Structures are given as C-alpha cells and as structure tokens.
Homo-oligomer: A and B are copies of this chain.
Amino acid sequence: MSTENTPATVPLLDHHCHGVTLHNLDDSAFESLITESDWGAPEGTTHFDTQVGFAIRRHCAPVLGLDPFVSAEAYLARRRELGGDEVSRRLLRATGISDYFIEIGHRADEILDPTEMADAAGARAFEVVRLERLAEELVIAGCDAAGFREAYDGVLDERLRSAIGVKSIAAYRIGLDFAPERPSSEEVDEALARWIDTTGDVVRLDDPVIIRHLLWAAVDRACAIQFHIGYGDADVDLHRCDPLLLTEFLRLTRPTGARVMLLHCYPFHREAGYLAQVFPHVYFDVGLAINYTGSRSDEIIAETLELAPFHKILFSSDAFGVAELYYLGALLFRRGLQRALDVFVERDQWPAGECARITELVAWRNARRAYRLDDRLFAVETGLVGAEGP
C-alpha cells in the first residue's frame, strides 16, 4: 500500500463534477454560484451567511493569501484582484484530486470542458455524457422522430468511445417514480413524434417514455449510469428524488452489467446506503452535501458509513463553476472520513492498515473499478480512444 493512504494525503478521484469557470465573476455572479437557490437572498441578507459561505471564508481565504474569516467583501475583492484564472488554478491544484469525471450537459458554454479542466487543475479529466442533453442536441440539429432512435444509438456509441459514463437527470425532469420497464419501440416513436412536433425554440426533454428509452439505451451498453438523487437544483421536486423510487429499475438492471451511481443523495443518503448494500451494481456519494454543509459535513459523511459496503462508497465534489466548491469538497471529505475512522478506531480499534485500505477504496479505488477506468486508460494508451490529461 502506498504512503498516500491517509484521508489527508490520498489522491482523490472526483467521480462527479462539472467544469469550473475561469472568468472574473462579479459579486452577485459569485454569490449565485454558492447556493442551489435560483434567486437572490432576501433583502438585507447574503448567501455568504451559510455553512458554505463560512467554509469559503475559513478555508479558501488562506489559499488566496488572506486570513481565515476575512469578510465576504474582502474575499471577493481579493478574488477580483487575483483574477478568476489564478484563483481557480490555485484552488484546484490544492485539492489533491488526480482525476475529474466531468459532466458537461449544464451551461456548457460558461465552464471549462474536460481538456481545459485537466490543464487548469493539473490532473486527468474524463467526460460524462448527459443523456437528456444528447437527445436535445440531436433534435436541435434537426433530427426528426423517424430518424431519432437510430441517430441516437449512433451518437451515444460515438460519445462512449471517449466518455467514461453517462448521467441522467430523470429526477428533475420526470421524477424517479417513472415506470421502470423498457418502453416499446412503438411507444417511443409515438412519444418522439409528439415531442418533436410540439417543441419550440427551447428544446427541453421531459417526456417520460423518451427518457426511459435513453436510460435503457445506456443499460444496453452496460454503462456506468449516474443518477441525480436528492438535493441539488431549485427545480427538483425533492420528494420525487428519493432513490428508493428506483428500486424496481435496479432490480431490472441488476443482471445487465450496467452500474448505477446515485449522486449526492442528501437527505436520502441512508436510503442510498441501503440500496448500495442490497444491489451489487449500485454505488453512491454525498458530494454536494459535503461542501454545502461545511462544519456539519462530518456527520453526513459518518452517516454514509452505515449499511453501505465500503466498496460501494464514492467521492465526489459535484462542484460547478467556482473552484471553491472543488476545494471544499475535497478538504471536507478528507476531514470527515478521517474523523469517522478516528471514531471507529476509538470504539472498535480498527487497525491502521484497514483504515488505510478503506480510505483508498472510497477515495479512488472503488470508482476506478466501478467505472472500469483501467480498461479506459489502456484504450487511451493504445490509441483506441482520445484522452484529456496533463
């Protein structure tokens, strides 16, 4: 085992995040990126008065050469002074993340793509394809209902030559209580005709039959399929994002070779841990709930270490846009995992070697195995597929 096997020093594989922006952000743009709310804080208040805001002032300020807990104003001023590019590089390079799996289906024009992220962070980066966006892009490009299924198969195969996995946002487009079975071709064609006929300037896929078709196309390819679960995005109906609603879909997909990654999961992370125990192809993380709960993240990380096998828990930051979120995701994850292990050592004398082994599993080994990263890296080395990396 390497010497890099304590939570403080282990390299991290961030199996779910988005790109960062290098732009200089004005204050309100920055503030809008440290909340999942779509609106400003009420008059006289600020999104900095949150766990994540406090964590930025506490932990990110020193990376920018400031004292801990400088005011939000001073922090933002220093950020402007250094420039978005420098701030982002400093914070990203301080995360200790060696690999980023980057989902680019959301506001892609505002953030770095995987190649640029690899460069900015000094790390490897891999793409995760958002299924619903892929379908929307086809329709935007003029694909009609008659040609959609074949065209989609083609473009998905093409993207999977380089992408490490796929993601679905079924949670906030249709709710996780969708019918779990594969829809028939006839049903799909009808739904496609209806959708494409009526779609206007803004192409937005929220048809359950079509989304189920996209999911089963991914299942057929034995992909790693990420699902948005729980917290994140103001337009979710959170009670329809409980991962337990996927139970029958998980039963149906168990023998297919597909793996299902449940993302963030808060406040349903105990439910996710149950699914990760019961289904051999289910993995989960509490990404977004780590950076956003700051001084409380230790408890949430500890709660993930209950029913889930240690080989089923993953690390992610689910960061988007600002480098602070990657940095805090990594820092707080390291700390929370260390504290949980410390408690287990105190209570039950877990051996140091076992703590180190579990640390490596959760930090990167589980993701590497579950996403079959070694196969992927071999394909890159042998020129079978393209690569992004430093």
Q: Which residues of B contact A358 (CB under 8 A)?
A: 49
Q: Is A307 an interface residue (CB 8 A)?
A: yes
Q: Is A199 an interface residue (CB 8 A)?
A: no
A45 to chain B minimum Cβ distance, whole angstroms, is 4
Residue from the list B271, B295, B354 in contact with A267, Cβ < 8 A: B271
Residue from the list B36, B244, B369 in contact with A237, Cβ < 8 A: B244
8 Å CB interface, A35-56 against B:
35-42, 44-45, 47, 49-51, 54-55
Q: Which residues of B contact A182 (CB under 8 A)?
A: none
A326 to B292, CA, bound (A): 33
Chain A interface size, under 10 / 10 to 19 / 20 to 34 / 35 or more: 35 or more
Q: Is A150 an interface residue (CB 8 A)?
A: no
Given contacts A237-B248, A277-B36, A280-B42, contact A54 B311 (CB under 8 A): no
Q: Which residues of B contact A51 (CB under 8 A)?
A: 305-307
8 Å CB interface, A360-390 against B:
361, 369
Contact between B238 and A247, CB atoms less than 8 A apart: yes
Q: Which residues of B contact A303 (CB under 8 A)?
A: 296, 299
A275 to chain B minimum Cβ distance, whole angstroms, is 8
Q: Is A310 an interface residue (CB 8 A)?
A: yes
Residue from the list B42, B59, B239, B309 in contact with A247, Cβ < 8 A: B239
A140 to chain B minimum Cβ distance, whole angstroms, is 27
Identify which of A7-15, A74-82, A88-96, A345-353 touches chain B. A345-353
Residue from the list B36, B40, B245, B247 in contact with A280, Cβ < 8 A: B40
Q: Is A294 an interface residue (CB 8 A)?
A: yes
Contact between A280 and B39, CB atoms less than 8 A apart: yes
A5 to chain B minimum Cβ distance, whole angstroms, is 16
1/0 per position for A44-74, CB-CB distance to B under 8 A?
Answer: 1101011100110011000000001100000
Q: In the complex, which residue of chain B has the Cβ closest to the Cβ of A47?
A: B309
Contact between B49 and A309, CB atoms less than 8 A apart: yes
1/0 per position for A278-315, CB-CB distance to B under 8 A?
Answer: 11110000000100111110111011011111110000
Q: Is A254 an interface residue (CB 8 A)?
A: yes
Contact between B244 and A238, CB atoms less than 8 A apart: yes
Contact between A238 and B347, CB atoms less than 8 A apart: no
A253 to chain B minimum Cβ distance, whole angstroms, is 13
Contact between A49 and B295, CB atoms less than 8 A apart: no
Q: In the complex, which residue of chain B has the Cβ closest to the Cβ of A43?
A: B369
Q: Is A270 an interface residue (CB 8 A)?
A: yes
Contact between B231 and A239, CB atoms less than 8 A apart: no
Q: In the complex, which residue of chain B has the Cβ closest to the Cβ of A353?
A: B69
A274 to B231, CA, bound (A): 7
A278 to chain B minimum Cβ distance, whole angstroms, is 5
Contact between A36 and B278, CB atoms less than 8 A apart: yes
Contact between A294 and B348, CB atoms less than 8 A apart: yes
Q: Is A242 an interface residue (CB 8 A)?
A: yes
Contact between B348 and A295, CB atoms less than 8 A apart: yes
Contact between A55 and B348, CB atoms less than 8 A apart: yes
Given contacts A58-B349, A239-B247, A242-B239, contact A311 B45 (CB under 8 A): yes
Q: Which residues of B contact A311 (CB under 8 A)?
A: 41-42, 45, 49
A interface list, Cβ under 8 A from B: 35-42, 44-45, 47, 49-51, 54-55, 58-59, 68-69, 231, 234, 237-239, 242, 244-245, 247-248, 254, 266-267, 270-271, 274, 277-281, 289, 292-296, 298-300, 302-303, 305-311, 343-344, 347-351, 354, 358, 361, 369
Nearest 5 pairs between A and B by C-beta? A239-B244, A267-B270, A45-B311, A295-B344, A293-B306
